[in-house]
């Protein structure tokens, strides 16, 4: 866990240090003078040896103080928290609904195992997940938002409730259309793998009904990979979806990343990348603990 985090820090540091061009040139803009560049370099610590620069970066991470954005001069850590909240408002709904709907549908698909309708479901899923997210978003926004005016085309407000009830339903709906198919297919595989186990035959032999076998025995065992999948999606919730936030003008972290990449705003990109990696580690740890609770046979190293 810690070595991985060190790796991410090194990757991000050296990527931006050696491939990212001269930050002073980005910052000074069009009025390039030698004095100005030297001043900026001194301010950013770029005149120090590489190892000192790396230590500055590590210190920034440990204190969660990534300095200020190069383009908006906003404090980066405040920016992370504020934008992260916005992304989470949309993504938490997607995450929650996706988990419930796809597990439900997967159970139904597992009931229908081997039948024509089951092949149909998987076929539709393959087709649905092949189509690009962009098409769902562009077409969905056009018809549901613009043409039929069922939802606002785009926008965001200061109030949490207005956002949840007015601005987020359409993005949430479109994201679900994209995310359910792959989850459903994956969970169905987990369930069917469990259905082929010996204990299912034993349970049936003891006289357990179809529903009892599926809901009590199979679902409980299949819960482990399913829960992993659901829990590992949590870190991604904070960045949200780049496309969705861009298209619907949602001021979340995803849109911030796109803006930052566009403006070569390195502190913001670095901060977001490293924070996301840290959250992934935490999610990993959480999943391991969850395993132990779900399946007492699991031994933690």
Partner 1 sequence: MSMNGTNTRSASFWIQAWKRLLADPVARICGCILAIYLVVALLSATGLIAKGWNDEVGVSYANPVFAPNEPNPEGDTSLIREDASVTDDETKAIDPLAPKYEEIAKLERTNADKVTVLQRLLPLGGDKTGRDVLAKTIKAGQISIAIGLAASFIAVFIGVVLGAFSGYFGGKVNDALEWVYNVFTSVPYILLVLAFSAVLGKGVGTVILVLGMTGWTGTYRLIRSEYIKHRDRDYVQAANAIGASHLRMMFLHILPNVSHLILIQLSQEVISFIKAEVVLSFLGFGVPVDLISWGIMISDVRSELVIGKWWQLASCATAMSVFVVAFSFFTDSLRDALDPKSSRR
Query: Which spans of this chain sit near partner 1 (rule: CB under 8 A)?
Result: 3-5, 7-8, 11-12, 15-16, 19-21, 122, 126-127, 129-135, 138-139, 142, 146, 185-186, 189, 192-193, 235-236, 239, 242-243, 246-247, 257-258, 260-262, 264, 266, 269, 272-273, 276-277, 280-281
Q: Which is nearer to partner 1, 4 or 202 (CB)?
A: 4
CB of 80 closer than 8 Å to CB of 67: no
Q: Which is nearer to partner 1, 89 or 275 (CB)?
A: 275
Alpha-carbon torsion angle 158, 161, 165, 167, nearest 10 = 10
Q: Which of 277, 261, 253, 260 is nearest to 87 (CA)?
A: 253
| Pair of tokens at residue 263 | 């403006």
Cα–chain center distance at 148: 30
Q: Please report how close the Cβ of residue 139 comes to partner 1 at its closest, in angstroms.
A: 7
Q: Please report how close the Cβ of residue 207 comes to partner 1 at its closest, in angstroms.
A: 29
> Rounded CA gap, 194 and 216, in Å?
12
Q: Please report how close the Cβ of residue 227 comes to partner 1 at its closest, in angstroms.
A: 18
| Neighbour-count burial of 190, counting CB atoms closer than 10 A to its CB (0-12 exposed, 13-18 middle, 19+ buried) | buried
Q: Which is nearer to partner 1, 4 or 165 (CB)?
A: 4
Q: Please report how close the Cβ of residue 54 comes to partner 1 at its closest, in angstroms.
A: 16
| Pair of tokens at residue 255 | 């849109």
Q: Which is nearer to partner 1, 212 or 242 (CB)?
A: 242
Q: Which is nearer to partner 1, 172 or 181 (CB)?
A: 181
């Amino acid at each position: 866990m810690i070595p991985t985090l060190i790796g991410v820090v090194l990757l991000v540091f050296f990527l931006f240090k050696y491939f990212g061009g001269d930050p002073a040139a980005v910052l000074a803009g069009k009025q390039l003078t030698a004095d100005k560049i030297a001043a900026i370099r001194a301010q950013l610590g770029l005149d120090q040896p590489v190892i000192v620069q790396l230590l500055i970066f590590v210190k920034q991470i440990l204190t969660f103080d990534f300095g200020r954005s190069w383009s908006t001069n906003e404090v980066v850590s405040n920016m992370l928290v504020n934008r992260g909240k916005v992304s989470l408002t949309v993504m938490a709904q997607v995450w929650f609904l996706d988990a419930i709907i796809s597990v439900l549908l997967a159970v139904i698909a597992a009931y229908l195992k081997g039948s024509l309708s089951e092949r149909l479901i998987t076929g539709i899923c393959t087709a649905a997940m092949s189509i690009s997210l962009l098409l769902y978003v562009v077409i969905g926004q056009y018809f549901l938002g613009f043409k039929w005016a069922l939802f606002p085309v785009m926008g965001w407000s200061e109030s949490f409730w207005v956002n949840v009830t007015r601005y987020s339903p359409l993005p949430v709906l479109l994201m679900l259309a994209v995310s359910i198919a792959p989850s459903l297919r994956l969970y169905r595989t987990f369930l069917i793998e469990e259905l082929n186990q010996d204990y299912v035959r034993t349970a049936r032999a003891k006289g357990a009904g179809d529903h009892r076998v599926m809901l009590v025995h199979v679902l409980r065992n299949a819960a482990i990979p399913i829960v992993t999948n659901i829990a590992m999606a949590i870190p991604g919730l904070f960045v949200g979806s780049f496309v969705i936030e861009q298209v619907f003008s949602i001021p979340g972290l995803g849109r911030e990343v796109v803006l930052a990449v566009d403006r070569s705003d390195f502190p913001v990109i670095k901060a977001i990348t490293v924070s996301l990696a840290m959250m992934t580690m935490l999610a990993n740890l959480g999943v391991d603990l969850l395993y132990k609770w779900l399946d007492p046979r699991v031994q933690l190293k």
